[in-house]
Structures are given as C-alpha cells and as structure tokens.
Amino acid sequence: MTARPGAQPPRLRSGGGILGDVDSPWACVVWDLDGTLLERGGLRPVEGVEAVLAAWSRAGVAMAVATSAATPMARRIVASLGWSDWFGHVAGSGPGVGGKDAVLAEALLGLGRVLPDGARDAAMVGDSPADVWAAQVSGLTAVGVTWSGTPADALAGADLIWPRPDAAWHPPS
C-alpha cells in the first residue's frame, strides 16, 4: 500500500507514549463518535480518549466530529460530556448530508477546510470500514481504531491502526 502524505507514524520522543511525548501528528483530526470516542453503543467515553483530546487541543490540533448520528443529537452528546471546546465542528447525518464521506466533508468544512486541499495534514480516526473508506476517498490519513472491538483485519485499508488511546499506532500488518 502506498501511504498518502502525512500517513507516517508520528515521531515519538523519549517516553515513547502517545500522550505528552508525541509531536502533534496532524494539523486537523476528524473523529468518529460511536465506537471511537464513546464506547460502542453507549454514552461513556472510551478510557483514555479524553486525555488524547485534551493533549491535542492544547497542541493546537483542529478537531471535529463526523458521525452517522443525527447532527443535533451528536452536538448534545459532545456538549453533555464537556467536549465542546475541543471540537471546532460536530457534523452528523441530516437533510442533504448522508454517507460518511459527506459527513466527513461537512466536518472539514466546519473547520474551514474545503476538499481536496482541506485533506492536507488531516486524518480521520474511526472504528469502522466506512470511516477508513471515507478518509481514503477524501484524501485524509485513515486511522483505524481497534479499542472498541473492531478487528484490525476489518480495517486493513487504514494507513495506521491504533489499538488503545494510550498506545502508539502502527501500520497495518
């Protein structure tokens, strides 16, 4: 597989961990909600994800949410968790916006990034093949997460696999 620009793993500093010891890998990150930020099928944050969000927010990474949930519901969830300051935009499905690629484009637009140039130095982090596909067709680095139970082989098209929020990601094997 040929990696797109920005698909290389970030440079790890001496600590070797993902939090605090990593240079900001992308200028922009779009996150899936269910199964990525939240435990699959629930409203509890995945353990460790808030530390990542806080660290990347402090580092100046522009972040958005792109979810298949309805936009008003997704915004309520993000606000109820106290995450609104971390995300410049929350995009979900709704009239005129259907399919993960359209939701991803809407999330980027909300951050002032218009495709195709808006994909530069940007990544989509998600737990499903649809997230990986949307990132690929949009030109973003596709980061597949396995922390909610999605097997890595289901995310084989991802540029990087991320096993846990507190672990470094790696190319798919």
Q: Could you read off the pLDDT of 85-107 as tens digits, one per residue?
A: 999 999 999 887 889 999 999 99
**Which CATH number do you get for residue 109?**
3.40.50.1000
Mean pLDDT of 32-52: 95
User: Which residues on neighbouring strands pair with residue 145, listed in sequence order?
Assistant: 162
d(Cα 93, Cα 99) in Å, to the nearest integer? 7
Residue 11 belongs to a domain: no
Res 118: pLDDT: 86
Residue 4 belongs to a domain: no
Q: Among residues 105, 130, 102, 131, which one has the least CA distance to residue 118?
A: 105
Between 156 and 33, the higher pLDDT residue: 33
Q: What is the pTM of this model?
A: 0.87
The band of 168, judged by pLDDT with boundaries at 50, 70 and 90, is confident
User: Which residues on neighbouring strands pair with residue 31, listed in sequence order?
Assistant: 65, 125
**Residue 23 clears pLDDT 80, i.e. is over it:** no
CB atoms within 10 A of CB 3: 11
- Run of H or E including 125: strand 122-126
- Run of H or E including 67: strand 62-70
Q: Among residues 132, 171, 128, which one has the least CA distance to residue 147?
A: 128
Residue 130 belongs to a domain: yes
Domain encompassing residue 45: 28-162
Residue 95 belongs to a domain: yes
What confidence tens digit (pLDDT) does each residue in 107-138 have? 999 999 999 888 999 999 999 999 999 999 99
